[in-house]
Every structure is written in C-alpha cells, then in structure tokens.
Amino acid sequence: MSRRERMLVIVAAILVTFVGWYFYVYSPRQARYTELTAKLQDARAQLERMEATARQITRLEQEYRELQSFIATVEAKLPTTKEIPPLLVQMERLTMSLGISLQAVRPGQLEKVGGPASAQSTSATASQPASSSSTANYFKFPIRLQFEASYTELLRLTNRFQTFPRLLVIRRITMAPREVPDLNSDMDIEMYVLPKEAR
C-alpha cells in the first residue's frame, strides 16, 4: 500500500470516527443538554411563580389578621341587646355630669342592618330584644335625646360621645333658642348593637 493510500485510509478512519462520535455521542448529549436547559428554565419560572404566590399569601394572611383585629376592636365597642338599659343610664349620667338638663331619652326600635326592615327586626325595643329567629349580624338602635344646654355644653357632650364606651353615631342635632345662653336641643343618635347571643 502506497503512502497516499495509507493517508486516505487514515483520513477516512478519522472522518468515520468523527461522524460516529457526532451522531452517537455529541448529538444525543446536545439534545439532552437542550432538554435539561428547557426543564431548568421551566423549573425556574415555576419557582418564581411559587415565590410570588407565597409572597402574596403572606401579604393576604397579614391583611386577614389585620382585618380580624379591626373587626374585634369594632365589635368590642358594640354592646349586645342585653347591655342597652345600663348604657342608657350611663348616657343619662354623662349628660348630668356635664351640667346638661336632660328632658327625655326616647329609645327607638332595633333595626336590622344590611337588609330591608322586617316586622321582626323593627318590633324589638331595648326592653324586648329581637327574636332569635333574626339572623342579622348586628342591629341599629336609634335614640333621641331632648335636653337644655348651652352651646358650649353641647360641644362638650359631642366630644365625650367620641370616648363613650360604646360606638355612637350622631345623625342629627336641632337647636332652638331658649333663655341665653341655653338652647332647647334634640339629638338623634344611633347605637350599633350585637344580638343578645353574640357573646
């Protein structure tokens, strides 16, 4: 065999070896690498989504705890229906402590909040709470105060209502002149009340 033929045989052997390595070693490994790279990218994307979800869950749990705390704080300011009579007495004592001449305290009827007033929800008063068949979460209890006071005493009363042990909302105040500096005043208040069995 001549030198040229030997060189051709060597080159052919190298080419066959290279082609075999390319198709049987490099190509499968390259395909596996591409597959694993795609899976890695998918896994990273899924991890980012899961981390974002975890952050959102943490934030939502925090908001939920804050809402629960807020609801508990507000409900602590809401009396139950059985606490209404002592609160009316407390309100009367408050006006007396401010030197206000209280003429009348006129409690209204309990009204279910969040739905149309029904015969059941409007027939209850402070001395006769709503029946257990009512499913309202809380009730609105209107109170009308009629009193004689100066404008300064009236302002002191409204300020004291802000720190009253229970949640009160002043809906309307009417004033008519009397003997200076006193005024005849009507004040419409709403107290929000939990059902008797709420606590």
| Structural domain range at position 108 | 81-198
50 and 63, same structural domain? yes
27 and 48 housed in the same domain: yes
**pLDDT at residue number 122:** 39
- Whether residue 141 sits in one domain with residue 187: yes
Domain final position from 76, 104, 122: 76
Count of domains observed in the chain: 2
* Last residue within a domain, chosen from 76, 92, 107: 76
Q: Where are the alpha helices (DSSP H) in the chain?
A: 3-21, 27-76, 84-97, 119-122, 151-162
Per-residue pLDDT at 194 exceeds 80: no
Q: What average pLDDT does this structure show over 2-30?
A: 82
pLDDT-based confidence at residue 126 (cuts at 50, 70, 90): very low
- Please identify, among 17, 45, 76, the residue that sits at the C-terminal boundary of a domain: 76
**Residue 172: is its pLDDT beyond 70?**
yes
Q: pLDDT tens digits for 65-102?
A: 888 887 777 666 666 666 778 888 888 888 889 888 88
Q: Same domain for 9 and 58?
A: yes
Q: Which of 118, 166, 114 is nearest to 136 (CA)?
A: 114
Are 11 and 104 part of one and the same domain?
Answer: no
pTM above 0.85? Answer: no
